[in-house]
Chains A and B, each alone.
Chain A
Amino acid sequence: MRIKDKKEGLKVFGIFALPGLFVFVAVVIIPFLYGLYLTFTDWNGISSATNLIGFNNYVNVFKDAEFWKSLLLTLKYVVCSVVLVNVVAFFLAYVLTSKLKGVGFFRTGFFTPNLIGGVVLGFIWQFVFSRVLVNIGSTTGIGFLSKSFLADPTKAFWALVIVTVWQTSGYMMLIYIAGFTGISADVLEAASIDGATGFQKLKRITVPLMMPSFVICIFLTLSRSFMVYDLNLSLTGGEPYGTTVMAAMHVYNKAFTSRQYGVGQAEALILFLMVAIISGIQIYLGKRKEVEA
């Protein structure tokens, strides 16, 4: 598109970008800024009286040891799930873009976990971990399974990761499939003729060409797992004894169970900043790789 003058530039902006940006600003940016303002007040989430209290809430955040503990756990969870989700999703996409019959059927199947969510998803998996697996474990004598995953802090953590992989890998698979189909068949064929093996082709051609898909998928998994709440609540509820409370859940509890709205809001902002920085770095590195490729 070539823009002739300022007037035309404004018009194009008005037609193409303004409507979308208007909604975005109205729904996300303005409430966000208002939320930022609230972190400097002593508002309790309900009262009509508010006083400005400066950085008090932030001081309290630094004193809140549980928050930093939950943040650390979240980091661990993010690393594990980002790696596993993307490996599984990439692998599934790779298999499902080869010339097999019935790939559509499998694609549908792997995506279906995205169709349910919330409390029910947690209940089903809670049932699987606490009853079904235990049942299988005790009848087959596999000691590893005969104890409930959810009763042990470490295993409960892995239960969260497993369900996350199960739930999100199908979603990411779709994006990877789109990436795979975007790679021209000619390039791969040319490489085959030059004598490249399957693995070489994957490493030298497919992966570099798929960089945009990687950037998107890693970004999406990263941000989603940083903010995991529903699953945390419905699968473990932070149990056993508060060892699986992740950042978003802690923030929610701080605001509504401990009734410290300002502190909760401030913690949410700190969480946001952290994710922003980490994702920023990730996208920057990814884009640079893209350029190199």
Chain B
Amino acid sequence: MAANNIGGTKAKIKNIGTYVGLTLVFLLYMFPFIFILINSFKTKKEIIKTPLKLISDVGLNFDNFIKAYEKMDFTKAFTNSMFVTISSTVIVITLAAMTAYYFVRINNKIAKVFFALMVASMIIPFQAIMIPLVSIYGAKLGMLNSRVTLIFMHVGFSISMSVFIFHGFIKSNIPIALEEAAYIDGCTRTKTFFKIIFPLLKPTTATLVILNVLAFWNDFLLPSLVLTKEKLLTLPLSTYKFYGTYSADLGTIMAALVLTVAPVLVLYVFLQKYIISGVVSGAVKS
């Protein structure tokens, strides 16, 4: 009994230590967000002079938010961002899972060559294909200034990483026996894939959804090349108006940033639960 007690206390102390450590690191990681949030209510001068002050002299001042909302044409930009992000994510996840599945199961020459190409392509600097890309799709095909083209390109650029991650997961975690049983039971390949395999990929899918959504939602360079028409702009593009050559409208930028990040943060917090449950159920099964 006594020994048990001592062990319990020790474990508790250790736990407390871990929590204190974690909390400190946590604060360090969260600091810029707190910084942005508190400064989004201040004037530019206050931001520069007293950046760490919690509450602005004028109290909770929503002027920055109102200005950012209006200038960015928030509703339109938000809708554009949503459309582009959701479509790109759904398409890239579906195509990547199928391609990765093909690469793992039909390990023929084509699969090997393309898998190697995809892995290699992940390290092409975007700047290296930027100009050829716009010159092909713009000058030669006349496809720019369309959200569909942007989605198409998003898919093309992110499919490699998604295939790469799905590939690793399918190879090590999805037993082939499962699908063979289903196939013998008379399921078609597509049906087997969508009914049996795809649900098993849930933890990886959730992770990839997060990573891709973030990449698409925040992307600046590619959309700035593809979309130039005012009515098509996504959120990051619309905040660019606040940067001048010699000055930046800091207060408005902070507010715009809060407005841009908030939706993703909500999604992340929501999906976070889903990831954990996905990971746990995966673990239980194995």
In B120-150, the 8 Å CB interface with A consists of 120-129, 131-133, 135-136
Query: Do B114 and A227 touch (CB < 8 A)?
Result: no
Q: Does B43 contact A (CB under 8 A)?
A: no
Report which of A132, A251, A275 forms a contact with B123, defined as CB distance below 8 A: A275
> Interface with B: A56-64, A65-73, A169-177, A236-244, which one?
A169-177
Which residues from chain A contact B108 at a C-beta distance below 8 Å? Answer: 9
Give CA–CA (A98, B169) in the complex, Å. 22
Query: Do B156 and A110 touch (CB < 8 A)?
Result: no
Contact A114/B214 with A27-B153, A109-B30 known, Cβ cut-off 8 Å:
yes
Q: Does A283 contact B (CB under 8 A)?
A: yes
Q: Mark B205-227, 1 if CB is under 8 A from A, else 0.
A: 00100110010001010000000
Contact A216/B268 with A109-B26, A276-B120 known, Cβ cut-off 8 Å:
no
Query: Do B106 and A118 touch (CB < 8 A)?
Result: no
Which residues from chain A contact B173 at a C-beta distance below 8 Å? Answer: 182
Q: Does B73 contact A (CB under 8 A)?
A: no
Q: Does A53 contact B (CB under 8 A)?
A: no
Chief secondary structure at chain A's binding surface: helix
Q: How large is the interface on A (under 10, 10 to 19, 20 to 34, 35 or more residues)?
A: 35 or more
Q: Does B36 contact A (CB under 8 A)?
A: yes
Q: Does A1 contact B (CB under 8 A)?
A: yes
Closest beta carbon of chain A to B278's beta carbon, Å: 10
In B254-275, the 8 Å CB interface with A consists of 257, 261, 264-265, 268-269, 272-273, 275
> Interface with B: A28-36, A142-150, A153-161, which one?
A28-36
Q: Which of A120, A131, A219 has the most CB of B within 10 A?
A: A120
Contact A108/B272 with A34-B136, A182-B173 known, Cβ cut-off 8 Å:
yes
Query: Do A216 and B283 touch (CB < 8 A)?
Result: no
Closest beta carbon of chain B to A207's beta carbon, Å: 16
In A182-199, the 8 Å CB interface with B consists of 182, 184-185
Query: Do A30 and B190 touch (CB < 8 A)?
Result: no
Contact A28/B160 with A35-B128, A124-B35, A177-B279 known, Cβ cut-off 8 Å:
yes
Q: Does B159 contact A (CB under 8 A)?
A: yes
Give CA–CA (A148, B160) in the complex, Å. 40
Q: Does B99 contact A (CB under 8 A)?
A: yes
Query: Do B98 and A17 touch (CB < 8 A)?
Result: yes
Closest beta carbon of chain A to B180's beta carbon, Å: 8
Give CA–CA (A122, B141) in the complex, Å. 36
In A230-264, the 8 Å CB interface with B consists of 248, 251-252, 255, 261, 264
Contact A112/B36 with A24-B121, A104-B276, A118-B218 known, Cβ cut-off 8 Å:
no
Which residues from chain A contact B136 at a C-beta distance below 8 Å? Answer: 30-31, 34
Q: Mark A1-37, 1 if CB is under 8 A from B, else 0.
A: 1010000010011011101110110111111101100
Closest to B273 in A: A104
Closest beta carbon of chain A to B213's beta carbon, Å: 10
Closest to A171 in B: B211
Q: Which of A268, A280, A283 has the most CB of B within 10 A?
A: A268
Q: Does B204 contact A (CB under 8 A)?
A: yes
Question: A interface vs B, CB < 8 Å?
Answer: 1, 3, 9, 12-13, 15-17, 19-21, 23-24, 26-32, 34-35, 38, 45, 92, 95, 100, 104, 106-121, 123-125, 127-128, 131-132, 166, 170-171, 174-175, 177-178, 181-182, 184-185, 212, 215-216, 219-220, 223, 226-227, 229, 248, 251-252, 255, 261, 264-265, 268-269, 271-272, 275-276, 279-280, 283
A–B complex contacts, Cβ < 8 Å, 30 sampled: A12-B102, A13-B106, A16-B102, A24-B121, A27-B153, A32-B132, A95-B22, A100-B15, A100-B18, A100-B19, A110-B25, A113-B29, A114-B214, A117-B220, A118-B218, A118-B220, A124-B32, A170-B29, A171-B211, A181-B279, A182-B283, A185-B283, A215-B168, A216-B168, A255-B131, A268-B128, A269-B128, A271-B128, A272-B125, A279-B120
Contacts beyond the supplied A115-B218, A255-B131: 11 A-B pairs with Cβ under 8 Å:
A12-B102, A19-B95, A24-B156, A27-B133, A100-B18, A110-B25, A115-B268, A117-B220, A182-B173, A248-B125, A261-B131
Give the 5 A-B residue pairs with the shortest CB-CB distance, closest first: A27-B156, A268-B128, A20-B99, A16-B102, A20-B95
